[in-house]
Amino acid sequence: MLNIILFGPPGAGKGTQSSKLIEKYGLVHLSTGDVFRYNIKNQTELGIMAKSYIDNGQLVPDEVTNRMVRDFIERNNNDQGFIFDGYPRTIAQGENLEQVLQDFNTEVTSMIALEVDEDELVNRLLERGKTSGRPDDQDESIIRNRFKVYNEETSPLADFYAQKGKFIAVQGKGSIDDIFNNLCKAIDHAN
Ligand code: ADP
């Protein structure tokens, strides 16, 4: 099994690259952001609860996100593996993922980080906000708050996986295809 965490700040291109990677490697894609947005659209209890956090650029509480991820893995268990996009985002989530995968007799193969400058990212997100309809991409102060949360709560996960010898950084600037090729090389090397 190949269980890849695609890591990087908001706007780094995790969603775009995930779509290409699942096609090439036959993995199941778990984007926690997509699952939340689906629930918001369908006005489920989870969606209504998550919306207030997401619209303010804050993280949905770990307990809720961790439970959702365990359910997803249970329902989508498969032989190929998963690509995790936007999860884990805190050390507590990283610890949860270790536990859940262990319960399914598997583990994280690698965390692959897309590295992109913050100024480039703000521009990308504001551009995306013009067409995506995502309220959290349309207001620069909310975008800046997402980076603050990323730097404070999410970036320590790089060390968490580096200590396990599972961290790989990839240049996230350039054409979509170039970045994809760099990711494939990293995955093939790790596997
Ligand atoms: P981006 O990477 O562009 O910020 P995502 O779709 O990954 O977009 O996430 C959008 C929002 O959904 C986040 O700002 C956060 O509020 C919520 N979210 C997504 N994943 C998680 C997670 N693992 N833990 C807590 N909140 C999350």
**For residue 70, what are the domain limits?**
2-181
Closest residue to atom 1 of ligand 1, CA basis = 10
Distance (Å) from CA 163 to ligand 1 centroid: 25
**Domain of 153: which CATH number?**
3.40.50.300
The rounded percent of the chain whose pLDDT value lies above 70 is: 100
Domain assignment of residue 187, yes or no? no
Assigned domain for 76 exists: yes
Flag whether pLDDT at 166 surpasses 90.
yes
Give pLDDT tens digits for 74-90: 999 999 999 999 999 99
191 in any annotated domain: no
Residues with CB under 6 A from ligand 1: 10-11, 32-33, 36, 53-54, 57-60, 65, 86-87, 89, 93, 136, 146
Report the domain count for the chain: 1
Does residue 6 form part of some domain?
A: yes
Q: How far apart are CA 72 and CA 65, in angstroms?
A: 11
* Inside any domain, residue 164: yes
Looking at residue 136, its pLDDT comes to 94
Distances (CA, A) of 55 to 18, 47, 48, 131, 134: 23, 12, 11, 17, 9
Paired with 6 in beta bridges are: 85, 112
* Active-site amino acid positions: 14, 89, 128, 134, 146
Q: Which of 64-78, 81-95, 122-136 has the lowest mean pLDDT?
A: 122-136
Report how far residue 12's alpha carbon sits from residue 134's, in angstroms, rounded to the nearest whole number. 16
Q: Is residue 129 part of a domain?
A: yes
Is residue 118 scored above 90 in pLDDT?
Answer: no
Atom of ligand 1 nearest to the CA of 61: 25
- pTM here is 0.95
Task: Tell me if 186 is assigned to some domain.
Answer: no
Confidence grade of residue 49 (pLDDT, cut at 50, 70, 90): very high
Average pLDDT over every residue of 4-32: 97
